[in-house]
Amino acid sequence: MKKILPAVTLGLAGIVATAILGSPVSAGATAAPVQVENTKPKVHNVVLVHGAFADGSGWRAVHDRLVAKGYHVSIVQEPETSLADDVAATRRVIAMQDGPVVLVGHSYGGEVITQAGDDPKVTALVYAAASVPDAGETLGELLQKIPSPTNDIKPAGDGFLMLDPQKFPADFAADLPARQADFMARSQVFVSASILEEKVTTAAWKTKPSYGIVAGADMVSHPDLERWMYQRAHAKITEVPGSSHVVYISHPDKVTAVIEEAAGR
């Protein structure tokens, strides 16, 4: 149970009709119907949840793309002190939304949205290189099913864990610019080791439409584990070949597309 899913990308954007203005017609002729442009998604609230060893700032590129398309986007800054604390932080943000919500989780954030996603406002779940536990499972148990390619997590003291800063760029963010990956290593959020042993009590994916994004070159969470979890959850799967664990940062367009598809249900 030494590994942790550290702390999300596809699909169908809302179809926009172009207004068609007919040319002048003679008396008695029937004018062509005018199609009214509709850019409002069915669900306009999106809540983004980061994973372990990261914070909400990594969602910036996805956030900007969604906002440009008319979505209202909120980002949870969960403390990573316990699963209960992180779920509570997510529920607080969901409660602030003015209507239906698409809930998105990266990495360990997938465990958080699996629990918090039982909120009635949540209409769909999107998992980006994420953990998808069943009720009664712990993260530690889940990660042992198909171990990750690397094991560079180590104690940070006081019951917390960290990803070795020297190994972080290659393990966590291999497809990001070196300076960006190094900064993420230096600014990583330590995660409570207790999270590995805490059981999820509710699996929202059993009752909510789900979407899963596989990071094809993930060195933190094995891509085969991601596929297995998504298949178990009957999620619609999108593959992003060559992507590192931070698929939501390195491939924001693909992650945004999946979120839009989830919002359009």
Spatial separation of the C-alpha atoms in residues 259 and 102, rounded to whole Å? 7
**In this prediction, what percent of the chain has a pLDDT beyond 90?**
83
**Element of type H or E holding 66:** helix 60-68
Q: Quickly count helices (H) and strands (E) in the chain.
A: 9, 9
Q: What is the pLDDT of residues 223-265, one digit of tens each?
A: 999 999 999 999 999 999 999 999 999 999 999 999 999 999 6
pTM above the 0.75 mark? yes
Cβ–Cβ < 8 Å for 260, 253: no
Question: Cα–chain-centroid distance for residue 259?
Answer: 9
Rounded CA separation 262/133 (Å): 20
pLDDT at 265: 61
Q: Which position has the token pair 């178990």?
A: 232
Tokens 């949205």, residue located = 113
Task: Identify residue 207 by its one-letter amino acid code.
Answer: T
Sequence spans of domains, the chain: 45-263
- Cβ distance 184 to 95 under 8 Å? no
What count of Cα atoms within 13 Å lies in the side-chain half-sphere of residue 88? 7
Sign of CA dihedral 45, 137, 243, 180: positive
For 43, the token pair is: 């669900």
Phi then psi for 179, rounded to 5 degrees? -65, -35
Alpha helices in 98-202 (DSSP H): 109-116, 139-143, 168-172, 178-186
140 vs 142: CA distance, rounded Å: 5
| Phi, psi (deg, nearest 5) at residue 177 | -55, 145
- Mind listing the pLDDT tens digit for each residue in 48-67? 999 999 999 999 999 999 99
Contact 6, 52 (CB under 8 A): yes
Domain 45-263, CATH homologous superfamily name and number: Alpha/Beta hydrolase fold, catalytic domain (3.40.50.1820)
What number is the average pLDDT over the span 30-39?
41
